[in-house]
Amino acid sequence: MGRRNPIRPNPKSSASLKTGPSASGTEGGFESLFKQIFEAGADEKLKKTFACYLSTTTGPVAGTLYLSTARVAFCNDRPLSFRAPSGQETWAYYKNPPQKNIHLVTVDGHEFWLMGFVNFEKASHHLLDSVSDYRSMQQHVPS
């Protein structure tokens, strides 16, 4: 199996980014791949997956958006090489204005742009449902 590198701006980030193999040709499909890559617990269930692109400063990155009962995660199709920023951090997003994009902002302020969905309406609907379900679940968890 290929090498997987976590690409997380912050360990407390609510969106997870990892590199890993594609689900095509993987026994068990997306569910088993999701559990393996993101080390999901037995109680975490994968709800939906969407092929899309993550916008980065070096251009779009092809991958899969995973929506589970506990998280929103992205896994790119190929390993990325990047250089740690030195000095002032500057972000520039590749965006095609007529294209529909999803802008995710994590609870710790990191921003992600997702684009190139085969069915944008379906992806955005399921993403909003997943976030809503997660928030409802968190409100019912005793402190």
| Domains recognised in the chain with CATH numbers | 15-79+95-139 (2.30.29.30)
Average pLDDT over residues 5-31: 49
Which of the pair, 48 or 99, is modelled with greater confidence? Answer: 48
Question: What's the pLDDT score for residue 79?
Answer: 61
Average pLDDT over residues 79-102: 52
- Band of the pLDDT at 3, cuts 50, 70, 90? very low
Question: What's the pLDDT score for residue 80?
Answer: 55
Question: What's the pLDDT score for residue 140?
Answer: 74
Q: Judge whether 94 and 72 are in contact, CB under 8 Å.
A: no
Please give the span between the terminal C-alpha atoms of the chain, in angstroms, as a whole number. Answer: 39
Q: Judge whether 128 and 55 are in contact, CB under 8 Å.
A: no
Cβ neighbors of 99 (< 8 A, separation 6 or more) are 115, 116
Question: What's the pLDDT score for residue 99?
Answer: 63
Average pLDDT over residues 107-116: 85
Q: What distance in Å separates the CA atoms of residue 123 and residue 92, rounded to the nearest whole number?
A: 24
Secondary structure of 4-72 in HEC code, one letter for each residue: CCECCCCCCCCEEEEECCCCCCCCCHHHHHHHHHHCCCCCCCEEEEEEEEEEECCEEEEEEEEEECCCE
Question: What's the pLDDT score for residue 81?
Answer: 53
The secondary structure element, H or E, covering residue 131 is helix 120-139
Q: What distance in Å separates the CA atoms of residue 76 and residue 61, rounded to the nearest whole number?
A: 7
Share of the chain above pLDDT 90, in %: 10
The tens digit of pLDDT for each residue in 45-88 reads: 999 999 999 888 778 888 889 999 988 888 887 665 544 456 54
Residue keyed to tokens 């085969």: 118
Which of the pair, 135 or 91, is modelled with greater confidence? Answer: 135
pTM (two decimals): 0.56
